[in-house]
Structure 1
């Protein structure tokens, strides 16, 4: 069970890493300000989810040492910040006219 959960979370980390790279390239290549902002906010959401998944692996999958818990907590806080900032920016840029 634990091994299967590690594989699932590992696959989710790879998927969110690839989607954040994809949205980063789309954001930089887009000429439209609205589309660029939407892609950048989706990139922030992907990075936030990736950091949260890394924190889950760090904090819950292995034996707990104090350094591992601190690193997992920092990743969790950074991930939550990126997730909420991306969601806020996505709502802002989606309201802009085309």
Structure 2
């Protein structure tokens, strides 16, 4: 069970890293500010998910030393902040995209 959980969390982290790289590249190459903002917000969402799952790996799959719990809590807070900011910005730029068309 723990081994399967480790593989699933690892796979989610790997996919979110790849997606954050893709959205970062798209954001930097885009000339349209709305498209740039949407891709940057998607990148923030992916980074937030990556940090949350890294925190879950730290907290759930390994023995609970104090340092490991503190690092996991910091990753969890940063991940939740990135996820919230990305979702908020995505809603903002989606609203601007629909009003511009």
Bin the TM-score by the shorter chain: over 0.9
Q: Which runs of 5+ in 1 are unaligned?
A: none
**Alignment size in residue pairs:** 98
Please report the TM-score for the alignment, with normalisation by the length of structure 2: 0.96
What residue in structure 2 maps to residue 49 of structure 1? 49
Provide runs of 4+ in structure 1 moved above 3 Å: none
What residue in structure 2 maps to residue 21 of structure 1? 21
Equivalents in 2 of 1:69, 1:50: separation in Å?
17
Q: Which runs of 5+ in 2 are unaligned?
A: none
What residue in structure 1 maps to residue 85 of structure 2? 85
Equivalents in 2 of 1:73, 1:60: separation in Å?
12
Equivalents in 2 of 1:5, 1:72: separation in Å?
17
After superposition, the CA RMSD in angstroms is: 0.6
Please report the TM-score for the alignment, with normalisation by the length of structure 1: 0.98
Following superposition of structure 1 onto structure 2, how do residues 59-74 of structure 1 map, counting pairs within 5 Å?
59-74=59-74
